[in-house]
Amino acid sequence: MRRKIVVLLIIIVCFLLQTTVFQALAFASISPNLLVVVVSAFGFMRGRKEGMWIGFFCGLLLDIFYGSRIGFYGLVYMYIGYLNGLFRKRFFPDDIKLPLILIAASDLACNLIVYLFQFFMRGRFQFGYYLLRIILPELVYTILVTVFLYFAILKINQKLERIEKRSARKFV
């Protein structure tokens, strides 16, 4: 229960930051994607199941407010969370390389899917332009933000796990 509330709070804060503050802090009209960091991080820290649910809810949130069709982002983020969960066994908190690679890959995948389904399908074929002007800048900006956001999420998760372990020991 405690974990659910904390995770919900993290999602809400990141969603609000992404849609308000970071839109104002955009460099060259590019802003980072915080929700993908949250989904991906919880995916590889906590496994497939949690990644999947968190992805589903983050995506649904985006769908309700900004999506043109409900369910699209839900689907994309859910799979991102699930696939990141497959890497849980290889994840060690001290190692920053794997999280960075996974988060970067997630952001890339997310944008490629959006491009494919919402731009390519409408006849916008200049993939090179969109790659250089939208996808890569967002990737760089997201990774920059990840360096801070990831450690915050990691610390919160470790704290939660400590509390859970302690209370489990008490009751068993």
Partner 1 sequence: MKVRRKPKSKLNLPTRYVLLILTGVCVLALFLSFTLNLNGGPLKTVAGYVFVPMQRGINTLGSWISDSVEGFQSKQELLAENEALQSRVDELTTELNTLRLEQYELDNLRELFELDQKYPSYEKVGARVISNDGGNWFSTFLIDKGENDGIEVDMNVIAGSGLVGIVVDVGPNYAKVRSIIDDTSSVSASTVTTADYCIVNGNLETMNEQQVIEFSNLNNEESAIEIGEQIVTSNISDKYLPGILIGYIQTLQQNANNLTCSGTITPAVDFEHLDEVLVILEKKQTAQE
- Name the residues that contact partner 1, by CB under 8 A: 12, 15-16, 18-21, 23-24, 28-31, 33, 35, 48-49, 52, 56, 60-66, 68-72, 74-75, 78, 82, 85, 111, 114-115, 118-119, 122, 124, 126, 129-130, 133-134, 137-138, 165, 168, 172
Which string of DSSP letters, residue by residue, matches 16-74? HIIIIIHHHT-BTTB---HHHHHHHHHHHHH-HHHHHHHHHHHHHHHHHHT-SSTTHHH
CB of 19 to partner 1, least distance (A): 4
CA distances from 86 to 39, 107, 135 (A): 13, 17, 25
CB of 114 to partner 1, least distance (A): 6
Nearest to 40 by CA among 104, 89, 114: 104
Q: 96 vs 127, which CB is nearer to partner 1? A: 127
Q: 96 vs 112, which CB is nearer to partner 1? A: 112
CB of 18 to partner 1, least distance (A): 5
